[in-house]
Amino acid sequence: MRTTLRQLGVDTGYLLSMFFIALPAFIIGVTGTVLGVGTAVIWIGVPIAAATLFAMRGMAAAGRSMLPSVLRRDLPRPRYKRAREDASALRRYLTVLTDGQSWLNVLWAVAALPIAIVGFVVAIVWWSVTAATLLYPFYNWIIEAAVGGDSDDGLHYATEWLGWGASYGARSVLAVIGGVIMALTLIPVLRGLALAQGYVAKGMLTSISGLHERIDQLEESRNAATSAEADALRRIERDIHDGPQQRLVGLGMELARVKRQLATNPEAAQATLEAAIAQTRETIDELRSLSRGIAPPILTDRGLDAALAALAARSLVPVELETNLNGRYKASVESTVYFVTAECLTNIAKHSRATKATIAVEDWGDRLVLSVGDNGIGGAHVSKGHGLSGLTDRVKAVEGQWTIDSPDGGPTVIVVEVPCV
């Protein structure tokens, strides 16, 4: 109830204040634009139009100021076109003429005024009638005493028609009933008008900046994907160089030794051959381990549910797994959830000193929500480089979000949301 009343106050303030913003915005925008365009042929209109657009930026900022409170969401800030740093002062001044958002500000001024007038009038009338009818029994007797008789406010016609008579009590009851009806409709009426005016302003004052913000998000996701891929390739290259490559070099040397020993010492050659066979098995196991970080076959063949179960089974820390999935998802979604889970389990095994870990994955319709927790010592943080920086890049690459709660002493909980639509 308190939130509803607070929103009513916000909507009322918005409807009343927007009239005093929309009216001067309309006058400045229309007058300046018409004058600038009309005199552009003699060049004096060019600086007039530019000045008008600069002035409209301030009016648009005033029109945007209450939008987050009315629409209950954060809105992107406008990004106006700028001239190059080495441009002349005249060039910087006239750049506003080629900025699309600046012209949209003028269009908003034209469209906003009629809606602002309607909102202003309705807000005043609705509040006034509501207050007047609800307070009728408390003030009308003063008016009647002042005029020396019953005041002709018209209510006695309605009460007589209803068969209630024309008494002061009957008129007061009817007025209060009307006031209650007005009060009940006050919130939806003003809310509807505020939203109508707010969405018009949102569409014209923030649409282009919203596109710019979306472009920035896509660029950030692309950079994160590139960074994650580069880090993975460097890690794989390092692991292959330090592991299988060295083992294969050693294996080649062992086989060369076997060749030399076959003629002179067959028993030593047999022992060397057995060591080479053991080394071959270790190399195969290591290559299999590396292949899990590239493309785990179980994820491709059987899906995310089975792949997570396999991860939990291989974990060095006992894992309690709970999944609520609906079939298969895009490859990027499944691989992100899989590798994030693998990195989290690796970090738990290396750093947490935990005796138990939990994994939960749920399908929320538009996104998969992964929760990984442990009962370890806590203190996990991105800056500590415990593999979490790579997790950040993987999540950003698919435009997901993640949070970590890991106080000193534990427990640690990581929640990752990955869009799946």
Same domain, 351 and 380: yes
415: left (phi over 0), alpha (psi -120 to 50) or beta: beta
Q: What angle do CA 327, 342, 244 make, to 5 degrees?
A: 120
Token couple for 133: 């009818």
Structure tokens belonging to residue 23? 């009216």
Beta bridge partners of 197: none
- How many other CB atoms sit within 10 Å of the CB of residue 394? 25
CATH of the domain at 390: 3.30.565.10
Say yes or no: 242 and 145 in one domain: no
Q: Pull the structure tokens for residue 277.
A: 């066979």
Structural domain containing residue 39? 2-205
* Local structure of 87: helix, strand or coil: coil
Do 276 and 160 fall into the same domain? no
Stated length of the chain: 421
Confidence of residue 230 (pLDDT cuts 50, 70, 90): low
Is pLDDT of 16 > 90?
yes
β-bridge pairing 319-324 and 357-363: parallel
In a domain, 356, yes or no: yes
Higher pLDDT, 42 or 227: 42
Evaluate if residue 210 carries a pLDDT over 60: no
Residue where a domain stops, chosen among 292, 312, 346? 292
Record the pTM. 0.56
Please tell me whether residues 281 and 305 are part of one structural domain.
no
Residue 75 domain-assigned?
Answer: yes
pLDDT at 92 over 60: yes
Domain end point (choices 237, 262, 292): 292
Query: Are 12 and 133 contained in the same domain?
Result: yes
Residue 212 burial by Cβ neighbours in a 10 Å radius (0-12, 13-18, 19+): middle
Query: Quick check: 116 pLDDT over 90?
Result: yes
pLDDT of residue 358: 92
pLDDT above 70 coverage of the chain, percent: 79
* Range with the largest mean pLDDT of 64-78, 253-267, 386-400: 64-78
Query: How far is the C-alpha of 94 from the C-alpha of 400, rounded, in Å?
Result: 40
Number of domains forming the structure of the chain? 3
Q: Check residue 98 and report its DSSP letter.
A: G
120-139 pLDDT, tens digit per residue, is 999 999 999 888 888 877 77
Residue 212 lies in a domain: no
Centre a 10 Å sphere on the Cβ of residue 315 and count the other Cβ atoms it contains.
Answer: 18
Q: What are the phi and psi torsion angles at 367 (to 5°)?
A: -160, 155
Model confidence band, residue 261 (pLDDT cutoffs 50, 70, 90): confident
Q: Is residue 213 part of a domain?
A: no
Please identify, among 292, 323, 345, the residue that sits at the C-terminal boundary of a domain: 292
Residue 347 in this model has a pLDDT that exceeds 90: no
